[in-house]
């Protein structure tokens, strides 16, 4: 028992998911079919949005969002550099220019006051990221977008279950992308969901995710017509399989409970870690929001603690505790740094956060006592430096 490792994240799969997957495997229909349709409907009902289209990943969902808006060469898309690679990669993939906008020091979300300075007559869209589950100020962002006639695409990979002003993230989005990667708030092994509130676009997404064909194979089973699918546009292979959807359906049923456990554990972290000198908790004070608690982020002040972030993570590892960090700002990655000639300090807040953040273990599969083990280790590390 003594050497048990507490990983920083883990999926939580139980008998229900296994049973559902087995049913699909036995059914003879493995790829996209009625189970995917059911997952989409359940997801749509959960969010209360007009369209939810299942795809192979959040990356695919973000990519399709740009394609739907005809964004390409010569266009500019504004986004946060403090995010996962795919948020900006999709902008590059369609041939557009990535325009990073620094983050707010406290929320680690895009700095709304900076956005206007980044808008030019080439700006077509802004991709916002609800970092760690803390919603961006989407009302203010939408106002700016309307004034300048640009699209708002939400990378909601962290924000399943998050709310702002009693509205779920994604419920009234122009475009929102969710992820079911194994360590997200729910998983489907892999997969994503693209939300749009325009029914016409919902149909276009279905064509783009399935080779660009006019009719999905699945629909053949539902009508008496012969299957006669034709190429409408060169499309992608971005569909979700029924095997994945079977997992997703069971996980979605558990989402509220999963997020409740995350919130409970986060509360313990906050109570126990609030008064440690040199550790700052990422808990922006916004009383009109519900946080999905996708990540529990602390910031290390090297000058006070005596350890750098990496050294601190190593100390945790020595005590059998996993950790990770989100993120190394994208402007520091070779591709972006070279292409756009960025300096470390091109985005000062994102640069500073990149050196300070640690994501602590937080997931529903974790035992309550594991939280206290992590807390004890952190206090122990801080103590030895004094
Ligand atoms: C996980 C993640 C993605 C990518 O999700 P996939 O489903 O793996 O493509 C994109 N953006 C953010 C912020 C993420 O955390």
- The tens digit of pLDDT for each residue in 309-349 reads 999 999 999 999 999 999 999 999 999 999 999 999 999 99
Distance CA 187, CA 180 (A): 4
Determine if ligand 1 sits within 6 Å of the CB of residue 129. yes
Q: How far is the CA of 380 from the centre of ligand 1 (A)?
A: 33
What pLDDT shows up at residue 386?
46
Q: Is the preceding omega at residue 263 within 30 degrees of 0, hence cis? A: no
Active site residue 184: yes
Confirm or reject: Cβ of 128 under 6 Å from ligand 1: no
Q: Residue 217 has which token pair? A: 């194979």
Quote the ligand 1 centre to 295 CA distance (angstroms).
13
Model pLDDT, residue 228: 80
Of 171, 358, 369, 225, nearest to 282 by C-alpha is: 358
Distance, in Å, from the CA atom of 263 to the CA atom of 271, rounded to the nearest integer, reads 12
Average pLDDT, stretch 170-182?
97
Q: Is the CB of 294 under 6 A from ligand 1?
A: no
Contact partners, residue 192, CB within 8 Å, separation at least 6: 54, 55, 56, 57, 58, 59, 60, 61, 177, 178, 179, 180, 240
DSSP conformation class of 213: B
- 3-state SS of 342-382 is CCHHHCHHHHHHHHHEEEECCCCCCCHHHHHHHHHHHHHHH
Q: What is the pLDDT of residue 222?
A: 64
Tokens coding 362: 């937080």
| Ligand 1 site, residue 59, Cβ cutoff 6 A | yes
Helix (H) or strand (E) holding 281: strand 279-281
Dist. CA 252–CA 254, nearest whole Å: 5
Cα–Cα distance, 88 to 261 (Å, whole number): 31
Contact 200, 50 (CB under 8 A): no
Atom 15 of ligand 1, nearest CA residue? 157
The pLDDT, as a whole number, for residue 30 is 96
pLDDT tens figures, 77-130: 999 999 999 999 999 999 999 999 999 999 999 999 999 999 999 999 999 999
* CB 157 near ligand 1, within 6 Å: yes
Q: Cα 328 to chain center, whole Å?
A: 15
Calculate how far, in angstroms, residue 179's C-alpha sits from the geometric centre of ligand 1. Answer: 6
Q: pLDDT tens digits for 157-171?
A: 999 999 999 999 999
Q: Are 30 and 246 in contact (CB under 8 A)?
A: no
Percent of the chain topping pLDDT 70: 96
Asked if 117 contacts 93 with a C-beta cutoff of 8 angstroms, the reply is no
Which ranges of 129-241 would DSSP assign to H, the alpha helix?
138-148, 199-208, 217-222
Among the atoms of ligand 1, which is closest to the Cα of residue 60? 9
Nearest C-alpha neighbor of 212 from the set 191, 177, 237: 237
181 ligand 1 Cβ < 6 A: yes
Residue 277 main-chain phi, psi, to 5 deg: -65, 130
Contacts of 299 (CB under 8 A, 6+ apart): 279, 280, 281, 282, 353, 356, 357, 358
CA 353/CA 191 separation, integer angstroms: 29
CA of 86 to the centre of ligand 1 (A): 7
Q: How far is the CA of 272 from the centre of ligand 1 (A)?
A: 30
Residue 22 is encoded by which pair of tokens?
């087995």
**Residue whose pair of structure tokens reads 């969901």 in the numeric block:** 193
Give the active site residue among 4, 184, 260, 365. 184
8 Å CB contact between 51 and 193: no
pLDDT tier at 224, thresholds 50, 70, 90: low
269 in Cβ contact with 360 (< 8 Å): yes
Task: Please indicate, yes or no, whether the overall pTM of this predicted structure exceeds 0.75.
Answer: yes
């Amino acid at each position: 028992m003594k050497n048990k490792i507490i990983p920083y994240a883990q999926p939580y799969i139980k008998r229900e998911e296994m049973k559902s997957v087995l049913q699909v495997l036995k059914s003879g229909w493995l790829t996209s079919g009625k189970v995917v349709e059911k997952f989409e409907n359940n997801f749509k009902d959960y969010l209360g949005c007009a369209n939810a289209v299942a795809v192979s990943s959040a990356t695919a969902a973000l990519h399709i969002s740009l394609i739907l808006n005809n964004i390409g060469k010569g266009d500019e898309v504004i986004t946060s550099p403090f995010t996962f690679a795919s948020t900006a990669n999709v902008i590059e993939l369609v041939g557009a220019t990535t325009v990073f906008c620094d983050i707010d020091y406290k929320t680690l979300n895009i700095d709304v006051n900076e956005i206007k300075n980044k808008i030019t007559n080439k700006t077509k869209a802004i991709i916002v990221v609800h970092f760690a589950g803390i919603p961006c100020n989407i009302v203010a962002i939408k106002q700016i977008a309307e004034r300048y006639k640009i699209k708002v695409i939400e990378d909601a990979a962290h924000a399943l279950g998050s709310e702002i002003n009693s509205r779920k993230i994604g419920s009234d989005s122009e475009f929102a992308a969710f992820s079911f990667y194994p360590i997200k708030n729910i998983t489907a092994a892999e997969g994503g969901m693209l939300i749009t509130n325009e029914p016409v676009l919902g149909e276009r997404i279905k064509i783009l995710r399935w080779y660009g064909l006019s009719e999905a194979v699945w629909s053949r089973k539902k009508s008496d017509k012969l299957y006669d699918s034709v190429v409408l546009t060169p499309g992608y292979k971005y569909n979700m399989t029924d095997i994945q959807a079977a997992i997703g359906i069971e996980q979605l049923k558990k989402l509220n409970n999963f997020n409740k456990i995350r919130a409970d554990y986060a509360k313990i972290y906050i109570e126990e870690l609030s008064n440690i000198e040199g550790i700052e908790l990422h808990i922006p004070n916004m009383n009109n929001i519900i946080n999905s608690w996708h990540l529990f982020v602390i910031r290390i002040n090297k000058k006070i603690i005596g350890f750098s972030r990496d050294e601190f993570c190593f100390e945790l590892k020595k005590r059998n505790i996993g950790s990770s960090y989100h993120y190394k700002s994208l402007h520091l990655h070779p591709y972006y740094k070279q292409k756009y000639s960025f300096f470390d300090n091109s985005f000062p807040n994102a640069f500073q956060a990149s050196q300070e953040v640690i994501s602590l273990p937080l997931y529903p599969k974790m035992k309550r006592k594991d939280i206290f083990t992590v807390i004890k280790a952190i206090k122990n590390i801080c103590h030895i430096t004094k």
